[in-house]
Amino acid sequence: MNETLTQRIKIQQSESSRVHEVDFNNLQFGRIFGDHMFEQVYENGSWGEPVIKPYGSIEINPAMNVFHYGQAVFEGMKAFYQDENTINLFRLDEHHARFNRSCRRMCIPETEFETFVTALEELLRLDKNWVPKQMGTAFYIRPFIFASEDYLAARISDRYNYYIITSPVGAYYAEGFNPVSLSTPKGYVRAVVGGTGEAKTSGNYAASFLPAREAQQKGFTQVLWLDAKENKYIEEVGTMNIHFLINDTLVTPELTGSVLAGITRKSVMELAADWGYKVEERRISIDEVFETSKSGELKEVFGSGTAAVISPVGLIEHNGETIHIGSGSIGDFAQRLFDEITGIQYGKLEDKHGWVHSVKV
Ligand SMILES: Cc1ncc(COP(=O)(O)O)c(C=O)c1O
């Protein structure tokens, strides 16, 4: 993209490739990693030389700040195989903007967009054979930064390590759409307004594991988070945002400060508006969901996120009451969104919004 920047990223190519170890017909999420990774270290007040080098272990010191105080952010995005010469990155400007917003909230130095784009392009070129080809598969990209100063003090670190690692992932819906079941948690909240809920920071996820495990032990797939103050308004689900189709209106919980601003969420709302649906971004209470379900106005409920794109919701439990949505599969509206978004990602449908950054490899 930018020659000076491309030259600035020092590339150490791996001597051999591990790609032959990959069983592309049986890919698991996040278990095997591309041959190369990006690395940049921040110290003495600035980011150092960006490097792409063979994927491998990194040296850590037990006193590293991140292990004790959790100053860390990450992103999750995907690249898609279009043809032999083209790999598509989806909404990378949005991902980078969110990455920097997360950094700001966590007092981590922001990163340059040009370095991010160039690093991704170079990683895709170097590891193009790692990008799975079948429809539904993708090349997952995980940028992350953590506080790496070796200092046992609860204060902003002076040193940070920034990496981008990659992983080929299988089709999420290889066996068809299985609607998920959700349960509102008792006695737990995910995030409060003014807290860190809208940042993609590691601690948010650690804090959600116990309520998620308890929901799973009761037979539900995931937790449906309500707002922390009134325990009434719907926020989001695990690693997805949530949407409700009430009659012909798409209702999406608004970004109050405690919800992660999902990029798939944004795409869903933009497409629904394109198609002439009424799109409302507002507070929606769990009571409204139950009432519209009982009155027959609640047509579809689905989650949105990079991992699954669209995830149909078939059941919601709240205070011992349960509603069932749909008929055990994906609704027509959710299916249309899934087809449109994935079609754009694989370069099969016209990209009217300029969401795709195609990389020639
Ligand atoms: C907490 C949370 N909410 C929502 C999402 C969905 O966001 P996106 O569509 O950008 O993947 C994610 C995944 O990144 C997440 O971790």
pLDDT at residue 2, rounded to an integer: 46
Q: Which atom of ligand 1 is nearest to the CA of 238?
A: 1
Determine which residue's CA is closest to atom 1 belonging to ligand 1.
239
Please give the Cα distance from 297 to 248 (Å, whole number).
Answer: 9
11 within 8 A of 126, measured Cβ to Cβ: yes
Residue count (the chain): 361
- Bridge partners, 269 (sequence order): none
Domain boundaries, the chain: 3-171, 180-345
* pLDDT score of 157 more than 60: yes
* pLDDT score of 1 more than 80: no
* pLDDT score of 172 more than 50: yes
Centroid of ligand 1 to alpha carbon of 200 (angstroms): 8
Q: Which atom of ligand 1 is nearest to the CA of 265?
A: 9
Centroid of ligand 1 to alpha carbon of 150 (angstroms): 31
Centroid of ligand 1 to alpha carbon of 174 (angstroms): 21
The alpha-carbon radius of gyration of the chain (Å, integer) is: 21
Q: Which atom of ligand 1 is nearest to the CA of 208?
A: 1
The residue to which tokens 């100063």 are assigned: 149
Mean pLDDT value of segment 154-173 = 96
Please give the Cα distance from 97 to 212 (Å, whole number).
Answer: 28
Centroid of ligand 1 to alpha carbon of 130 (angstroms): 24
231 within 8 A of 137, measured Cβ to Cβ: no
> Hey, how many other C-beta atoms are within 10 angstroms of the C-beta on 133?
12
Q: Which of 30-44, 105-119, 169-183, 208-222 has the lowest mean pLDDT?
A: 169-183
Between 266 and 327, the higher pLDDT residue: 266
**What residues line ligand 1, using a CB cutoff of 6 Å?**
76, 236, 239-241, 260, 262-265, 304-306
Please give the Cα distance from 53 to 63 (Å, whole number).
Answer: 25
Determine which residue's CA is closest to atom 7 belonging to ligand 1.
262
Centroid of ligand 1 to alpha carbon of 295 (angstroms): 30
Residue by residue, DSSP assigns 94-112 as HHHHHHHHHHHHTT-----
Q: Which atom of ligand 1 is nearest to the CA of 76?
A: 14
Return the best residue to mutate from 142, 190, 202, 241 for the ligand 1 pocket (most ligand atoms within 8 A of CB). Answer: 241
pLDDT at residue 173, rounded to an integer: 85
Rounded to 5, what percent of the chain is helix, strand, coil?
25, 30, 40
* pLDDT score of 227 more than 80: yes
Q: Which atom of ligand 1 is nearest to the CA of 190?
A: 1
Cα angle 261, 266, 271 (rounded to 5 degrees) comes to 170
Determine which residue's CA is closest to atom 15 belonging to ligand 1.
239
Give me the helix-helix angle, 332-345 and 263-274, nearest 10°: 110
Please give the Cα distance from 219 to 28 (Å, whole number).
Answer: 23
**Any idea which architecture 3-171 has in CATH?**
2-Layer Sandwich (3.30)
pLDDT at residue 24, rounded to an integer: 96
Centroid of ligand 1 to alpha carbon of 114 (angstroms): 23
Return the best residue to mutate from 240, 256, 306 for the ligand 1 pocket (most ligand atoms within 8 A of CB). Answer: 240
Determine which residue's CA is closest to atom 12 belonging to ligand 1.
239
Secondary structure of 340-357 as H, E, C letters = HHHHHHCCCCCCCCCCEE
The overall pTM is greater than 0.85 = yes
Amino acid in position 183: S
Mean pLDDT value of segment 73-102 = 98
pLDDT at residue 7, rounded to an integer: 57
Please give the Cα distance from 242 to 225 (Å, whole number).
Answer: 10
**Any idea which architecture 180-345 has in CATH?**
Alpha-Beta Barrel (3.20)
* pLDDT score of 144 more than 80: yes
Determine which residue's CA is closest to atom 13 belonging to ligand 1.
239
With a CB cutoff of 8 Å and minimum separation 6, the contacts of 344 are 90, 350, 351, 355, 356
Mean pLDDT value of segment 137-152 = 98
Average pLDDT over the chain reads: 96
Return the best residue to mutate from 74, 255, 306 for the ligand 1 pocket (most ligand atoms within 8 A of CB). Answer: 306
pLDDT per position as a tens digit, 343-354? 999 999 999 999
* pLDDT score of 4 more than 80: no
